[in-house]
Copies of this chain bind each other. A is one copy, B any other.
Amino acid sequence: MKEAFIGLDHGSGGQASHELVKDIFMSRLDNEFLRALDDSAVIPLAGQKLAVTTDSYVVDPIFFPGGNIGSLAVHGTVNDLSMQGARPLYLTLGLILEEGLPLEKLIPIVDSLAEACSRAGVKVVAGDTKVVQRSHMDKIFINTSGVGIIPEGVDVSSHNAQPGDAVIINGPIGDHGTAILSQREGLDFRTELSSDSAPLNSLVSDILTVTLQVHVLRDPTRGGVATALNEIARQSAVGIELFEETLPIREPVLSACEILGLDPLYIANEGKCLVIVPKDLAEQVVAAMKRHPFGTEARVIGAVTAENPAKVLLKTAIGGTRIVSMLTGEQLPRIC
Q: What residues make up the interface of A, taking CB atoms closer than 8 Å to B?
A: 1, 3-12, 17, 20-21, 24-25, 28-29, 31, 33-34, 40-41, 43, 45-48, 50, 52-58, 90, 92-104, 106-107, 110-111, 113-114, 117, 123-133, 136-138, 141, 143, 145, 147, 149, 330, 333-334
Contacts and interface: CB of A to CB of B under 8 A. Distances in A.
A132 B139 CA distance: 12
A132 B123 contact: no
Contact of A6 (B11, B41, B97): B97
B24 A107 contact: yes
Contact of A53 (B92, B114, B143): B92
A129 B45 contact: no
Contact of A11 (B8, B90, B97, B334): B97
Between A6, A10, A31, the greatest number of chain B beta carbons within 10 A of the residue's beta carbon is seen for A6
Interface secondary structure of A, over-half rule: mixed
A54 B92 contact: yes
Contacts of A334: 130, 132-133
A286 to B, nearest CB: 30
A130 B117 CA distance: 23
Most chain B CB atoms below 10 A, which of A50, A94, A110: A94
- Which one of A3, A5, A31 has the highest number of Cβ atoms from chain B below 10 Å of its Cβ? A5
Given A10-B129, A130-B56, A132-B138, A101 B5 contact: yes
Contact of A333 (B10, B31, B57, B131): B131
A110 B25 contact: yes
A290 B322 CA distance: 68
